[in-house]
Structure 1
C-alpha cells in the first residue's frame, strides 16, 4: 500500500463521517444560523429606549415599514463601532500573547495527544478592568457610555466577526492532518459550517475555540455592564445615585464572569472544548450572544430605573447565593473527581470501560446539579428588573432550553459510551437536572 493511501486510510479512521444530525440537520442549522443574529437585534429593538419601551408600541405595519426602509438597514452598520470592536478583539489577542500564564494540558485527544492551553484569561480581565478604570477616572463616567450608545453597531461587528471565523475555520478544516469533530464531518457545508468541522482550530499554539470561550465576549460582557452603570449614573447625577437593582444585576453578572475566568482550567473538561467543533455556532455564541444578550437586564435598567429596597434585595441575593453554591460546589466535586481526587470519598460506579461515575454528593441528586445552580442564578439576574415585562426573563427561558438540550446530548453520548452501565447509573441517579422535577 502506498504511503498516500495509508495516510488517507488513517485519516478516515481518525475522522469518520458524521452519520447523525443535531438541530434537525441542515434545515435546523440554517434556521439557528439566521435566527441568532435576528434574535439579538430583535431583543434590542423590542426592548430599548430608542424604540419606546419594552416592548414598544409597535404594529405589524410599523415593523414592515422599518424593514422596507434602506436607512434602517444602513443603521445597523457603524464604522466607528466596528473599529472599536476590532480593536478590542486585537487587544485580547495581544494580551493572550504578551501576558504570562501557565500552560496546562487538556483531555486526551483521539490521536493520543494532549493539547496545551495558556492560562491567562483572568490576568487579561484584570488588565482590561484596570485600563477601563483609569479611563473613567481620567475622563469621567460620561466618557464610558459609548457601549450603550453604539450597541447596534457593536452587535453587527460581532456578528460579522463570527461569520468570518466560521467560514475561515470551515475552509481551514480541509487541510491535511486536521482533527475533525466527530459531530461536524457530515459532508453538508451548511451543517458543518454551523456545528464546527474542526475540533481545535489553531494558529500555532493559539487555540481559537478556548480563546473565544473566555476572553473577547466574556470580558466584553463586564465592560458592557460597567457602561450601563455609567449611563445610569450620568442620568441620575453620579455613581452614588445608581439604583440598587442596577448594582444587583451587574454585580451578579460580573461575579459570575470573574469566577469563570479565575477557574479557567475547569473549562477544558466541558463539552464545548472536548467534543464540539468550532464553527459559527460557538463563534456567534461567544462573541455576540454572551455579551449582548446576557447584559439585557442592565441595559433595561438604564431606562427603567427601579429601587428594590432592603427586603427584596436580600431575597434576591440569597437566591443568587444558593445558585452559586450549588453551581460551584458541584463543579468542584466533578473536577476533583476527574482529576483523580476524591477528598470526601464519594461513592462512584465503575463501568466496564474502567470509567468512574459519581453517585454521591451533589451528583446523587441529579445528573447535572451544576445546571440547576446555573438556572437559579439566571433567575436571580432577572429578578432585579421586576415583573413589568417578560422580555427581561428571556435569558432564563433560553438558558433552560439550552441546558436541557445539553443534558440530552450528554445523556445520548454517555449511553453510547457506557451502554448498560449507563442504564444502571440512570437507575441510581434518576433525575436529570432538578430533583423530583426533571
Structure 2
C-alpha cells in the first residue's frame, strides 16, 4: 500500500470510526474523572432531570431563531444555490440568557450544585441527542438532500463524521447556527457560571475561579457581538453539518470546553489572588489583540481594500478564482497589519487567552490545561486543513500570498 493509499485509508476508513468511538465515550469519562468523586457516575442515557435541562436549552435555542428580527445573509455556498440566511440577534440572545441564569442562581444557588452533580448525566443526554441528530442529517443529506450537489461516495462512517450538506436547515433554521451558536456556546457560558457558583458553595469564594469564568464570559460575549462575522469563516462556509461540527457543538463544547471551570470545583485553586489578577490582565490583553485582528480583516473587507491599517494604505494580493459554475470572482488577501506578520496570528492570541483562563488551575496537575493542550493541537491541524482549501481555491495567488507572509503561526519559528 502506497503512502497516499495509506493516508486515504486513515482519512476515510479507519480515522472516523476511531474518533467517533473514542471521543464520544471519552468526554463522558472525563466528566466522571474531573468530578473527583463529587458527581454522579457514568451514564449512558442520562436522567429525567438531565433530559429536562437539555430539552429546555434546545427549545430556548430554537425560540431565539424563530423570533422575527434582522436577518443576515451569508456568502453563497461553493457548490451554488441560495445564500444561507441567519438570525442576527446573537448578542441579545447571549445577554438575556446570561442574566436569566444569574438571576436564577441568585434566587436558588443550590441549583448549581444539582447541575454539577448530574453533569455526567447531562452529557449522556447531549450524547444521545447529538448522535440521533447526526444520524438524521446523514439520512436526509444522503437520500433527500436540500441542495443539488455531486459528492464523491465515501464510506458511510466517514459521511456520518463529515456530514453531507454545508447549509442544511431544520424547523426553519440553519442547523449550524442552531448547534454551534445557540446550543453549544450558550451551554459553555451557562455551565462555567454554574460551576463557579457550585465551587463557591463547596469551597468558598475564589478569585482564581472567578478569573477563569470571567475571561471565558468576556470571550463568549465578544463572539456573540461578532456572531455574523463567524458566518463568513471556513467552519461555516466549507465544513459540512455532521458529527465533527454538530456532535462537537452539542456534546464536546459543553463537556470539554468547560472542563477547567468544572475541574476547579473538586480541586480548588491554590494560586494567590495577585497571581489570579495577573492571569486576568494577560487574558484581557489577549482578548483585545484578538478583537483587533478580527476587526482589521472586517474593516478591510468592508472597504474593499481601500483603507488604512496601522496608518498605512492596506496592502493585499488580488486573487481571482473560479466558482463551481466556472464564473470568475475576485478576493483580496490582506498582507497588512497583524495579517502581514503571520497567516494565522489570530490563533496565537486564541491560545494566549486559553492559557490565561487555565493558569488559575496552576499547581493542580495538567487537568486545568487539557483544553489549552487540545486547542493547540486543533489549531495547528486547522492551519494545514484551511491552507489546503485556500491553495485549492486560489492556486498561484495563494503561493504569492505565502511568499508575502511566510510564517503560518509564530513569526520566525513556524
**Could you state the TM-score of these two structures normalised by the residue count of structure 1?**
0.84
How is 1:268-287 mapped onto 2 (pairs within 5 angstroms)? 268-287=231-250
How is 1:99-248 mapped onto 2 (pairs within 5 angstroms)? 100-109=68-77, 110-111=79-80, 113-139=82-108, 141-175=109-143, 178-179=146-147, 185-203=152-170, 205-236=172-203, 241-248=204-211
User: For the residues of structure 1 that align with 2:136 and 2:286, how far apart are their CA atoms?
Assistant: 38
Give 3-state SS (helix, strand or coil) of 1:186's partner: coil
Residue 402 of structure 1, CA deviation:
0.8
Structure 1 position 436 matched with structure 2 position 412: yes
Q: In 2, are the aligned partners of 1:209 and 1:278 still within 8 Å (CA)?
A: yes
1:425 maps to 401
Give unmatched runs, 5+ long, in structure 1. 1-19, 53-70
Q: In 1, are the aligned partners of 2:269 and 2:364 still within 8 Å (CA)?
A: no
Give unmatched runs, 5+ long, in structure 2. 1-6, 322-329
Structure 1 position 47 matched with structure 2 position 15: no
2:229 maps to 266
User: For the residues of structure 2 that align with 1:204 and 1:299, how far apart are their CA atoms?
Assistant: 33
Match among 396, 408, 413 for residue 372 of structure 2: 396
User: For the residues of structure 2 that align with 1:143 and 1:43, how far apart are their CA atoms?
Assistant: 22
Q: Deviations over 1:221-267 (max 9, x none)?
A: 1211121122122224xxxx410111010001111111111111111
Q: Deviations over 1:137-165 (max 9, x none)?
A: 333x1233222011011001111111111
How is 1:75-114 mapped onto 2 (pairs within 5 angstroms)? 77-98=46-67, 100-109=68-77, 110-111=79-80, 113-114=82-83
1:414 maps to 390
User: For the residues of structure 2 that align with 1:185 and 1:126, how far apart are their CA atoms?
Assistant: 43
Structure 1 position 346 matched with structure 2 position 314: yes
Give 3-state SS (helix, strand or coil) of 1:46's partner: helix
Q: In 1, are the aligned partners of 2:44 and 2:124 still within 8 Å (CA)?
A: no
User: For the residues of structure 2 that align with 1:331 and 1:436, how far apart are their CA atoms?
Assistant: 22
Structure 1 position 300 matched with structure 2 position 268: no
Residue 77 of structure 1, CA deviation:
2.8
Higher Rg: 1
**Could you state the TM-score of these two structures normalised by the residue count of structure 2?**
0.88
Query: CA 1:137–1:325 in structure 2 vs 1: closer, same or farther (change >3 Å)?
Result: closer
User: For the residues of structure 2 that align with 1:152 and 1:225, how far apart are their CA atoms?
Assistant: 15
Q: In 2, are the aligned partners of 1:366 and 1:430 still within 8 Å (CA)?
A: yes
Residue 127 of structure 1, CA deviation:
2.5
Query: CA 1:217–1:112 in structure 2 vs 1: closer, same or farther (change >3 Å)?
Result: closer
Residue 332 of structure 1, CA deviation:
1.3
Q: In 2, are the aligned partners of 1:169 and 1:279 still within 8 Å (CA)?
A: yes
Q: In 2, are the aligned partners of 1:181 and 1:196 still within 8 Å (CA)?
A: no
Q: Count residues in correspondence.
A: 394
2:3 maps to none
